[in-house]
Each structure stands twice: as structure tokens, then as C-alpha cells.
Amino acid sequence: MSCDSTKPAHHPVIEHAKVGKEVKEFTMETYDPAEGFFGTVSLAEIKKAGKWTVLFFYPADFTFVCPTELADLGAKHPELAAAGVEVISVSTDTKFTHMAWKQDEKLLENVRYKMAADPNGAVSRYFGVYDCESGLDLRGTFIISPDGVLVGSEVNFFNVGRNADELVRKMKANFYLREHPNEACPAKWNPGDKTLTPGEKLVGKVYEALNS
């Protein structure tokens, strides 16, 4: 059951982020493992710094698949950060719980990105990952351009973990396409591979374009 369906008929429908559209501004409290401090993170400040944003929603602290995902993302974080990406994990836990989990769970010892708290589910609802029956988030990954446009969205159910290698690959494709907006990246594209230039000559001739 969607959260929207619990609202009376006269209640405004909750706005959701849409791929290809500008993301509305948000601010969340955080625990920053790199600094050891509480703070805040806002989309406005990330955009001002000219950075990409990756929001990595997960169900809950002190659970089972979640630390494996956050550890996997932590291993790729230095590469993403060096490329100008602000990585933020998000759950409906508080910043205090984030801090306690980070200190207790050995899998998280190399996590250095900000851990954001969304205890009322407002940001989670906006991105369509909030499960109103459990009060937890689905596993959602969202890529926001430096201009604030949502360019990538992936949502998994609670029991399927993600692969940070694929996130890095998609980020590299987005970096390339930001500089080459008239091109497109085919499946499994990596830097150095051929791209596609959509147009009349490419219709029905993709094989030839990739294998010439």
C-alpha cells in the first residue's frame, strides 16, 4: 500500500522526484564519520560547490544487508569523492543511532561519507522509497547532477543488496555525457568504449556503429 493512498481524497498528492527533472531543495541532519561530528547537509550547498550528489537510501541501522552495502560503498567513496561526488547515506534512523552503529559495526570502519537522518521520512517520501507500513526505506540510489537534476534512479526491495561498482560505472558515464550531451552510452559502457550519436543514420545500424 502506498503512503499516498492513506490520505483522504481531498489531501494533496505527495510530490515525488522524477528522473530528468530538477530536484527540490532538502536539508538533513548528519553524522560525519570522517570528522566525528554532527552537522547538516543540504542540496543547495552541494550545488553551490559544483558537486554531484549520490543519495544512498537503506532500511535501517543495526540490520543485516545494510552494513554490507555501506561498506561496499565506503570502498568506492574515495574514488567518487575525488571525482567531485558528495555521497550521502540516508535512513529513517536518527543521527545518534548512525553514530552508535558506526562505532559498533566493524564492517563500517572505513565509511567516511556523511550519514543523513530522515526520521520523519520527508525526504524518503519525496524520492519514493519510504515504506509506510514499516517506517523504513527501500534500497534506493539517486544521482543528482551539479545543476540539481535527477539523472539516475534505482530502487531495490529490502532483501537485495546493491553493487557499488555499477554505481561508479554509471557515474563515469554521467561525467562523460555532461561534457558530450549529444552522445549516449550503451550497455556496460566504460571510459574509452565507443558511444552512440543518435540520429537518422543510426536507426537500425547500432551493431555497425559499435563494431566498425
Catalytically active residues are 66
What is the rounded CA–CA span in Å between residue 176 and residue 156?
Answer: 26
**Residues shown for the chain:** 212
AA letter at 167 = L
Task: Answer whether 116's CB lies under 8 Å from 79's CB.
Answer: no
What is the rounded CA–CA span in Å between residue 51 and residue 28?
Answer: 17
Strand positions, DSSP E, 13-51: 27-32, 37-42
Instruction: Give CA separation, 157 vs 56, 71, 117, 121, in Å.
Output: 14, 19, 20, 17
Place of cell 489531501: 11
DSSP state of 191: T
Within 13 Å, how many C-alpha atoms sit on residue 77's CB side? 23
